């Protein structure tokens, strides 16, 4: 039987540690984490997670995906898979340590911070992000962490905010590793963090793989990666989910032992590089444009703090490439400068033909840009 696990914000989340210890031990009823303070989101997730119904006894957690299509799915995670993920993470980072939780703990990245803490036998320090991430809370939070090794997990938008606060930067630089996942990290942001002494570890994975299973392009111990003939990334190994809740024939798990992602990538000398999402590609003027490639081309533009590329219907081109920009200063960049900058790296057909200036980019889950919301609002 699957039970909902209401996950509170802030320090109250520490009350869940005994239950999560039982989750890792196995042999207890499966739990589905949901936000305790958001009844509407809990109802939405419950439709996919189906609490109160039977679930295979090997399943320990059912974690909702971020819902690229707007409809989340429940990844079936066994205790063995969760332990394998946590143990492989600590092995890659150099040993067990204490963790700082700065993400919502009903998402896989947040709950993994709690689970790794249980495995390490340490109590995490918690930053309350119920009303948003405040970088000014980092110095005191990091100072409260015990040693000898200290870690946290963030999404790129949090790192962007932290880099504007010298005290937050110094606090993050004191940590042994800052795991960064949930979305691609712009190269200039990564360079700024590295130059500031922050030990950033870029992670790739999802709820279906118990979170990040590839660190800085290299699979964790027990994880497997391959690229199919279409350039699609497939993931396998000890931390793989056993499928989706109520969807036994879902094509993503059609091949035993592998999860078929929607990401395109390359594998060179054992190092994985993600080039973008296949389901977000824009067909324009006979060319297939991967938004993340154009975003990477624009990452060094001096007038752009953040950007997101997407497609909107166009009677001549099929779709035209559009970019939403959070400006880096008081003077927003114009379309001409954006196209000129993009064309240094990508074909002119892929360069944005329309620009929208926004205060912030809409997100889904803890850190992924919601391109559908942008299309609805700006298309």
- The tens digit of pLDDT for each residue in 263-276 reads 999 999 999 999 88
pLDDT at 69 > cutoff 60: no
Instruction: Please give the CATH superfamily to which domain 3-274 belongs.
Output: ANL, N-terminal domain (3.40.50.12780)
Q: Give Rg (Cα) of the chain.
A: 20
Q: Is the pLDDT of residue 367 over 80?
A: no
Residue 294 makes CB contacts below 8 A (sequence gap 6+) with: 309, 321, 323, 342, 346, 350, 351, 352
Among 121-125, 222-226, 280-284, the least confident range = 280-284
pLDDT of the residue at 67: 57
SS3 63: strand
Cα–Cα distances in angstroms (integers) from residue 344 to residues 270, 303, 333, in the given order: 29, 16, 16
Q: Which residue has the higher pLDDT, 156 or 241?
A: 241
Do the Cβ atoms of 220 and 92 come closer than 8 Å? yes
From CA 379, how far away is CA 376, in angstroms rounded?
6
Q: Please give the share of the chain, as a percent, with pLDDT higher than 70.
A: 98
**CA atoms within a 13 Å half-sphere pointing along the CA-CB vector of 307:** 35
pLDDT in tens, 307-360: 999 999 888 888 999 999 999 999 999 999 999 999 998 888 899 999 999 999
Query: Mutual orientation of helices 335-342 and 291-298 as an angle, nearest 10°?
Result: 100
Beta-sheet strands, E only, within 243-317: 258-268, 271-277, 282-284, 287-289, 304-314
The answer to whether 295 and 263 are in contact (CB under 8 A) is no
8 A C-beta contact, residue 300 and residue 338: no
Compute the distance between CA of residue 71 and CA of residue 66 in angstroms, rounded to an integer.
Answer: 8
* Domain layout of the chain by residue ranges: 3-274, 281-378
162-213 pLDDT, tens digit each = 999 999 999 999 999 999 998 778 888 899 999 999 999 999 999 999 999 9
Q: Are strands 177-180 and 200-206 parallel, antiparallel or unpaired?
A: parallel
- Report residue 233 as tokens: 């990334």
Tokens of 370: 């919601």
Spatial distance between the Cα atoms of 156 and 198, rounded to a whole number of angstroms: 13
SS3 category, 268: strand
Quick one: 281-378 is in which CATH superfamily? ANL, C-terminal domain (3.30.300.30)
Two tokens at 39? Answer: 């009844």
CB-based contact 250:74 (threshold 8 Å): no
- End-to-end Cα separation, the chain, in angstroms: 43
């Amino acid at each position: 039987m699957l039970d909902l696990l209401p996950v509170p914000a802030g320090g109250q989340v520490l009350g869940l540690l005994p239950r999560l210890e039982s989750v890792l031990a196995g042999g207890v009823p499966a739990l589905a984490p949901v936000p305790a303070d958001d009844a509407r989101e809990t109802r939405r997730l419950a439709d996919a997670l189906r609490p109160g119904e039977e679930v295979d006894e090997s399943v320990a957690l059912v974690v909702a995906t971020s819902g690229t299509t707007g409809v989340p799915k429940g990844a079936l995670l066994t205790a063995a898979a969760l332990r394998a993920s946590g143990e492989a993470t600590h092995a890659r980072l150099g040993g067990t340590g204490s963790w700082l939780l700065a993400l919502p703990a009903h998402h896989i990245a947040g709950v993994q911070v709690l689970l790794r803490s249980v495995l390490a036998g340490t109590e995490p320090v918690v930053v309350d992000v119920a009303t948003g991430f405040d970088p000014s809370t980092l110095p005191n939070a990091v100072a409260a962490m015990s040693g000898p090794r200290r870690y946290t997990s963030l999404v790129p938008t949090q790192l962007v905010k932290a880099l504007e606060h010298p005290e937050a930067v110094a606090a993050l630089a004191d940590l042994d590793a800052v795991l960064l996942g949930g979305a691609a990290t712009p190269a200039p942001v990564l360079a700024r963090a590295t130059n500031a002494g922050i030990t950033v570890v870029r992670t790739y994975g999802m709820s279906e793989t118990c979170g990040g299973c590839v660190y800085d392009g290299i699979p964790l111990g027990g994880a497997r990666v391959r690229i199919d003939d279409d350039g699609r990334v497939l993931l396998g190994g000890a931390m793989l989910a056993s499928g989706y809740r109520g969807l036994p024939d879902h094509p993503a798990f059609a091949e035993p032992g592998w999860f078929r992602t929607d990401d395109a990538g390359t594998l060179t000398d054992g190092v994985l590089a993600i080039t973008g999402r296949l389901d977000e590609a824009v067909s324009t003027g006979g060319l297939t444009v991967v938004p993340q490639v154009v975003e990477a081309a624009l990452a060094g533009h001096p007038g752009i703090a953040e950007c997101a590329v997407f497609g909107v219907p166009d009677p001549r081109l099929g779709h035209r490439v559009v970019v939403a920009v959070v400006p880096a200063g008081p003077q927003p960049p114009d379309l001409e400068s954006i196209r000129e900058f993009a064309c240094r790296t990508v074909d002119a057909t892929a360069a944005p033909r329309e620009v929208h200036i926004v205060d912030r980019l809409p997100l889904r889950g803890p850190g992924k840009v919601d391109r559908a919301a942008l299309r609805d609002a700006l298309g």
